[in-house]
Amino acid sequence: MNYDEFYRRSIDQPELFWAEQARLIHWDTPPQQILDQSHPPFRRWFVGGTTNLCYNAVDRHLAERADQLALVAISTETGITREFSYRQLHGEVNTFAAVLQSLGVGKGDRVVIYLPNIAEAVFAMLACARIGAIHSVVFGGFAAHNLALRIDDAQPKLLIAADAGMRGGKVIPYKPLVDAALNEASAPPPHVLMINRGLAPSLSYQAGRDIDYAPLHQAHLGREVPVTWLESNEPSYLLYTSGTTGKPKGVQRDVGGYAVAMALSIRHVFDIAPGQVMFSTSDVGWAVGHSYNVYGPLIGGATSLLYEGLPTQPDPGIWWRLCERYRVRTMFSSPTAIRVLKKQDESWLRQADLSRLKWLFLAGEPLDEPTAQWITDALGVPVIDNYWQTETGWPAITLMPGLDLKTVKFGSPGLPAPGYRMKVIDESHGREVPAGVKGVLVFEPPLPPGCLTTVWGDDARYIRSYFSHFKELLYSSLDWAIRDEDGYTFILGRTDDVINVAGHRLGTREIEESVASHPAVAEAAVIGMRDELKGQVPIVFATLKQDAGDGTGAVAKAMQQRVVDQLGGVAKPSRIYVVNTLPKTRSGKLLRRSLQALAEQRDPGDLSTLDDPAALDDIRRALERGPDQGS
Ligand code: ATP
Ligand code: MG
């Protein structure tokens, strides 16, 4: 079936379409009703059906592929690679589930998982799913305060943590962060289950609270824990959004709808069939990690690669060598990671045999054209931008090469995924805008299977955050978009990333794209700075490639000229600063609000989601030193 037909059916005959897709997974009891939308904006998919994510990801494959690789956990930090067949994965998950039960964890209990990108994170997630416990993975790079906030919101029965993570060869002890978080939290769990990797020099355990996993693992080895069948709409897990725009929201996912969305997307979006290999470079702590390092590939009977380390260590060829060694078919990464590699010598790409690699998917932030062009040329395979949010759980706008590959248009993630009733509407009157006109990207309810069911513990916040922006009941993505004549959608940035220059509304993204199209530029961030005359003026912060050639002053001048040539004089950046790094969230998204605050000499505010606090010092220094272009 081709994309157009597939998508059409999902919109015109949703119940028939999703009833058919539901057959991709195993149900203990089949659904009685495909869709219940009696209480919009809430909706329930596959009502009355009972299933289990762990069963579909693990047990179901034992009959046909017990000895096939299920999970390969590679760490270039410790130098250790661990491979697990489906049979071994089944063993590890059962043992972990038995350990959880021995600690009193059962159906409906929350378990916060604060681990680096290691195999135990996957075992822990699947073990929770097996017994109906609700996991909430907190990215291992988050600081104590972030962890405490999430603990208080989820109120877990157990926290699973590691002694340490590693980054760029440096050990980052987790235990002191855990202790600080539990001190700060008002609802700390009674126990911390510690995965001791032997990395932290000295570990102090609090008697009665902190428990080592290794002896429990030994004690429960070989145990089989029966699967707890859950009604399709019961919660499976919580995942907090990145917090780019404010206080993170606890995105709640269901069981059946999510399983079906994973089965559909791994096949038809990511073009992975059972036995094939998927390499997602994400951390399990992000939405991509949940869906395409764990549940998607495993529900699809594939082999999933999990990677702990930097894309550039031991050298910038590492990812491509892994693609060669494991015969990776589909790779999934982020524009940020590709821009890091773009700063390196391209020959690293040519040294590996990439003949098995068919697709590179990129998501998480805007994919600028120069980066898309560079990696497309370097790899010689289609590069597929896909748009989604933690909330959606899987791509909302993408091409679907598993069905048929439509033309790739740089700058656009493509077309709506099945079940997404996408519209681009005018923010003031709420009506759909014609092709070529910018508006807010919205989805008409019901949201397809896989998307969030609510905000954890706060139905009111779910409605307020997503469905209260327009007169009609519409899910607002809070992103600007524009559709072209062929129905391709271009994302223009967040609704709060618009600047107003002398009455002209300019998207920061357009100016960034223009600046980044200069061959010497690695990455650019644009903010609007208060200006007495014009209201706001665009200010550029840019990083250069390693071999930028000409002096920074000349490059900065050329950047400014480019913007004027491409977007007109009104978009002319009034100042350009060349810097070493840009402030990003831990998930690699540009933190414009902190740049803006610094430029306006305000307190940068909550920096807890910032990846590298040193980036701000770099910006401060640049501001003090003065611009490389403009005054
Ligand atoms: P918060 O909602 O807490 O502020 P966040 O929006 O950064 O955090 P995520 O759910 O991780 O948290 O990010 C989703 C956002 O990332 C999208 O709304 C969009 O702004 C951006 N995004 C994701 N994929 C793409 C893409 N392919 N092109 C452009 N933007 C993208
Ligand atoms: Mg968001």
Instruction: With respect to residue 257, please indicate whether it lies within any of the assigned structural domains.
Output: yes
The verdict on the CB of residue 363 being under 6 Å from ligand 1 is yes
Structural domain ending residue among the three candidates 445, 479, 513: 479
What confidence score (pLDDT) does residue 387 get?
98
Instruction: With respect to residue 319, please indicate whether it lies within any of the assigned structural domains.
Output: no
Burial class (CB in 10 A: 0-12, 13-18, 19+), 369: middle
Same domain for 305 and 271: yes
Residue 425 near residue 476, CB atoms below 8 Å = no
Two tokens, residue 306: 């999990």
Instruction: With respect to residue 424, please indicate whether it lies within any of the assigned structural domains.
Output: yes
In angstroms, rounded to a whole number, what is the distance separating the alpha carbons of residues 368 and 373?
9
What confidence score (pLDDT) does residue 142 get?
83
Same domain for 178 and 81: yes
In angstroms, rounded to a whole number, what is the distance separating the alpha carbons of residues 446 and 443?
8
Same domain for 505 and 437: no
- Testing ligand 1's pocket by substitution, the residue of 137, 146, 149, 241 carrying the most ligand atoms inside 8 A of its CB is 241
Same domain for 536 and 626: yes
* pLDDT at 194 exceeding the cut of 80: yes
Same domain for 532 and 428: no
Q: How far is the CA of 259 from the centre of ligand 1 (A)?
A: 22
The verdict on the CB of residue 243 being under 6 Å from ligand 1 is yes
Two tokens, residue 505: 């509304």
Burial class (CB in 10 A: 0-12, 13-18, 19+), 434: exposed
Give me the CATH number covering residue 565. Answer: 3.30.300.30
Domain that holds residue 518: 497-630
- Which ligand is in closest contact with the Cα of 589? 1
420-432: average pLDDT:
94
Same domain for 578 and 431: no
What confidence score (pLDDT) does residue 502 get?
81
* pLDDT at 362 exceeding the cut of 80: yes
Dihedral of CA atoms 238, 243, 247, 252 in degrees, nearest 10, equals: -20
Distances in whole angstroms, Cα of residue 586 to Cα of each of 77, 104, 146, 608, 616: 18, 33, 11, 9, 14
How many separate domains does the chain show? 2
Distances in whole angstroms, Cα of residue 125 to Cα of each of 90, 447, 512, 579: 13, 25, 38, 40
Same domain for 511 and 440: no
Two tokens, residue 515: 């600046």
Atom of ligand 1 nearest to the CA of 391: 10
- Testing ligand 1's pocket by substitution, the residue of 368, 385, 389 carrying the most ligand atoms inside 8 A of its CB is 389
First vs last Cα of the chain: how many Å apart? 58
Structural domain ending residue among the three candidates 450, 479, 508: 479
- Testing ligand 1's pocket by substitution, the residue of 153, 365, 593 carrying the most ligand atoms inside 8 A of its CB is 365
Q: Is 200 helix (H, G, I), strand (E, B) or coil?
A: coil
Instruction: With respect to residue 486, please indicate whether it lies within any of the assigned structural domains.
Output: no
* pLDDT at 595 exceeding the cut of 70: yes
Which tops the pLDDT comparison, 86 or 247?
A: 86
- Testing ligand 1's pocket by substitution, the residue of 252, 339, 386, 387 carrying the most ligand atoms inside 8 A of its CB is 387
Same domain for 475 and 501: no
Residue 568 near residue 103, CB atoms below 8 Å = no
The verdict on the CB of residue 512 being under 6 Å from ligand 1 is no
Which tops the pLDDT comparison, 251 or 346?
A: 251
Same domain for 76 and 120: yes
Same domain for 205 and 100: yes
* pLDDT at 93 exceeding the cut of 80: yes
What confidence score (pLDDT) does residue 244 get?
67
The verdict on the CB of residue 390 being under 6 Å from ligand 1 is yes
Q: How far is the CA of 494 from the centre of ligand 2 (A)?
A: 9
Given its phi and psi angles, is residue 407 left (phi above 0), alpha (psi -120 to 50 degrees) or beta? beta
* pLDDT at 279 exceeding the cut of 70: yes
∠ CA 366-459-364, nearest 5°, is 10
- Testing ligand 1's pocket by substitution, the residue of 150, 385, 388 carrying the most ligand atoms inside 8 A of its CB is 388
Instruction: With respect to residue 251, please indicate whether it lies within any of the assigned structural domains.
Output: yes
Same domain for 409 and 527: no
- For ligand 1, atom 18, the nearest C-alpha belongs to 389
431 backbone dihedrals φ, ψ, rounded to 5°: -90, 155
Q: What is the pLDDT of residues 153-177, one digit of tens each?
A: 999 999 999 999 999 999 999 999 9
262-271: average pLDDT:
98
Give me the CATH number covering residue 77. Answer: 3.40.50.12780
Q: How far is the CA of 387 from the centre of ligand 2 (A)?
A: 12
Rounded to the nearest integer, the mean pLDDT of the chain is: 94
45-70: average pLDDT:
98
The verdict on the CB of residue 241 being under 6 Å from ligand 1 is yes
Which tops the pLDDT comparison, 507 or 542?
A: 542
* pLDDT at 5 exceeding the cut of 80: yes
Same domain for 583 and 438: no
What confidence score (pLDDT) does residue 547 get?
64
Structure pTM? 0.90
Helices (H) and strands (E) in the chain, counts: 21, 33
The verdict on the CB of residue 387 being under 6 Å from ligand 1 is yes
421 bridge partner residues: 444
524 bridge partner residues: 542
In angstroms, rounded to a whole number, what is the distance separating the alpha carbons of residues 608 and 143?
7
What confidence score (pLDDT) does residue 497 get?
79
pLDDT classification of 589: cutoffs 50, 70, 90: confident
Residue 511 near residue 536, CB atoms below 8 Å = no
236-258: average pLDDT:
88
Count of other CB atoms within 10 angstroms of residue 565: 10
- Which ligand is in closest contact with the Cα of 591? 1
pLDDT classification of 495: cutoffs 50, 70, 90: confident
Burial class (CB in 10 A: 0-12, 13-18, 19+), 397: buried
Q: Is omega for the bond preceding 188 within 30 degrees of 0, making it cis? A: no
Instruction: With respect to residue 488, please indicate whether it lies within any of the assigned structural domains.
Output: no
Instruction: With respect to residue 489, please indicate whether it lies within any of the assigned structural domains.
Output: no
- Lowest mean pLDDT, pick from 226-230, 355-359, 424-428: 424-428
What confidence score (pLDDT) does residue 245 get?
64
Q: How far is the CA of 126 from the centre of ligand 2 (A)?
A: 26
The verdict on the CB of residue 560 being under 6 Å from ligand 1 is no
303-308 and 359-363: which strand pairing? unpaired
* pLDDT at 113 exceeding the cut of 90: yes
Q: What is the pLDDT of residues 302-328, one digit of tens each?
A: 999 999 999 999 999 999 999 999 999
